[in-house]
Every structure is written in structure tokens, then in C-alpha cells.
Amino acid sequence: TGLILGILVWLHFGISIDSWFYGCIISLLFPIVMILLLNPFSKNRFNFTKLHFYRAK
């Protein structure tokens, strides 16, 4: 979704250096913002204890 949104912003503002910059920033930040906003509503929880006691074979 971030890539598609970045391309849409880039095409919406015209093909220039500024629109390329804003498209890249939005395509980077949009997924991060969505993860942070939707994470509290997720029912899945990760068990970090497995990682804490992990030993490579």
C-alpha cells in the first residue's frame, strides 16, 4: 500500500524532483503509521520469551 500511495502522490503532483521526494517519504511513512495505529486493535500478541531464550544449534 505504501508503494502504491507513493506512486499516486508522485503522479498527482507531476513528474518533478519535489513530487518524487514527497512520494518516497509518503511510501515510507504510511506503512509505519498504519502499523502504529492499528497495532492496539490487533488480537495477536507475540511471545518474546521464545526469542529471549533462543539458542542457535
Residue 10 confidence (pLDDT) above 70? yes
Summarised one tens digit per residue, pLDDT across range 25-39 is 888 888 888 888 888
Please give the pLDDT value at position 1.
Answer: 67
The amino acid occupying position 10 is: W
Between 17 and 21, name the one with better pLDDT.
21
Q: What are phi and psi of 44, to 5 degrees?
A: -80, 135
Residue 7 confidence (pLDDT) above 80? no
**Whole-angstrom distance, CA of residue 25 vs CA of residue 9:** 10
**Whole-angstrom distance, CA of residue 24 vs CA of residue 1:** 13
